Amino acid sequence: MPSSRFSDYQLGTILGVGTVGTVYEGIHKESGERVAIKKLHPGVSGNKLIRARFRREMSVLERLRHPNIIASYGGGEANDGQLYYIMELVEGGTMHELLETHGRLAWQEVVDVTRQVGSALQCAHNHGVIHRDLKPGNLFLTLSAMVKLGDFGIARDLHDSDLTATGLTVGTHAYMSPEQITGDAMISGKTDLYALGCCMFEMLTGRKPFLGENFAQLFEQHLRAKPPQVSKFQPECPPELDQVIAHLMEKKPEDRPFNARAVQGVMLQIGEKYGLHEELACEKSGHDVAAESVTEKGRLILEQRIHARLHPASKVDVSWGRIAAVAAVIGGMILAAIALAP
């Protein structure tokens, strides 16, 4: 595992700037190994609450060891007194960046992404951690199209005292569950499932499920309106995806899926039904190969799309014509399934 000492690294390119911290590329001075280093802004380093939240984020990441969650290598206080932590460097950008440049994804890709995110969420929830800010910008992509959930800055740790005042609304408005909007003190992992439904909708359609002109309208829609069906935007989408998004975005938490594992299971069923299976190389045996292989065709399409975004001059073909050709047989299976449905 890489060193956790700040002094062992040379700070490189700024990878991102948030309200309380900056993420840098870090290069180990001896080995040349590259990592990501998040450091608290000097302007807020004297704020006890912000420091406590930063330490909470460090603690949460250190507990969550999972292939689909950004890996933490430890942290502490640098020589200048600023808090920092070191994590794995993920080089494929974020899902938000991919959607901004390449538009909506093919449904096969979304099935695989949802399977991976569901696995990450189940791990977090098993450890008593609710992310509370699941969105495309916090889904990081590797060059091989693995999805890594990151940014646990406002996560709720059920094993520790809450650092958010009761009744305070936290999260990103376009992905907030009704119980987040109302400031419910008893939120659960079902909040993350609602946000997952919002993310699935956006990945499949290229737009957010609700488009209020202001926060008041947006909140009202999250509280009372039903999202449109994704099949109206992507007709080739299997009906099961419409169903699972509607289930995830139910207004009452108790009406949503039982847990993230259940959502992951639905994605595996879709993969099996519509032929997304692909044999994987044996060197991936450290992962859940059986689950990965069931939706592997979606991952392969996503991998091409990631490389096309990073290397636009390359000849990688991820056009909709190409995707349609790859999915032709699958589309026939969908039509047959619909025709045979009772």
Which two structure tokens, joined as six digits, stand for 127?
A: 């450890």
Same domain, 64 and 111: no
Whether 11 is in a domain gets the answer yes
pLDDT digits (tens, 9 = 90+) for 126-153: 999 999 999 999 999 999 999 999 999 8
What per-residue confidence (pLDDT) applies to 332?
A: 54
What per-residue confidence (pLDDT) applies to 165?
A: 47
Q: Which residues are catalytic?
A: 133
CA pair distance 147, 292, nearest whole angstrom: 12
Same domain, 295 and 198: yes
Band of residue 335 on the pLDDT scale cut at 50, 70, 90: low
pLDDT digits (tens, 9 = 90+) for 184-222: 878 999 999 999 999 999 999 999 999 988 989 999 999
Stretch 324-341: mean pLDDT: 51
Whether 336 is in a domain gets the answer no
Q: List, in order, residues 6 or more apart from 223 with CB less than 8 Å away.
A: 178, 181, 182, 251
Closest CA relative to residue 137, chosen from 225, 17, 37 = 17
pTM of structure: 0.87
Which two structure tokens, joined as six digits, stand for 92?
A: 């494929």
What per-residue confidence (pLDDT) applies to 289?
A: 56
Strand partners, 72: 87
Q: Are 267 and 80 in contact (CB under 8 A)?
A: no
Same domain, 78 and 99: no
Residue 17 has pLDDT above 70, yes or no: yes
How many structural domains is the chain composed of?
2
Band of residue 287 on the pLDDT scale cut at 50, 70, 90: low
Whether 340 is in a domain gets the answer no
Give me the domain span that covers residue 161. Answer: 95-323
Q: What is the largest CA-CA distance in the chain?
A: 68
Band of residue 225 on the pLDDT scale cut at 50, 70, 90: very high
Which two structure tokens, joined as six digits, stand for 203?
A: 């990945």
Same domain, 156 and 284: yes
pLDDT digits (tens, 9 = 90+) for 228-239: 999 999 999 999
Stretch 66-86: mean pLDDT: 93
Strand partners, 151: none
What per-residue confidence (pLDDT) applies to 4?
A: 85
Mean of per-residue pLDDT scores for the chain = 88
Whether 260 is in a domain gets the answer yes
What per-residue confidence (pLDDT) applies to 320?
A: 47
Same domain, 200 and 281: yes
Residue 242 has pLDDT above 90, yes or no: yes
Same domain, 262 and 177: yes
Whether 278 is in a domain gets the answer yes
Same domain, 25 and 157: no
Band of residue 277 on the pLDDT scale cut at 50, 70, 90: confident
Same domain, 105 and 71: no
Q: List, in order, residues 6 or more apart from 50 with CB less than 8 Å away.
A: 20, 40, 44
Q: Are 84 and 75 in contact (CB under 8 A)?
A: yes
Whether 339 is in a domain gets the answer no
Stretch 73-87: mean pLDDT: 92
pLDDT digits (tens, 9 = 90+) for 155-171: 999 877 555 544 455 67
SS3 content of the chain, % helix, strand, coil (to 5): 45, 15, 40
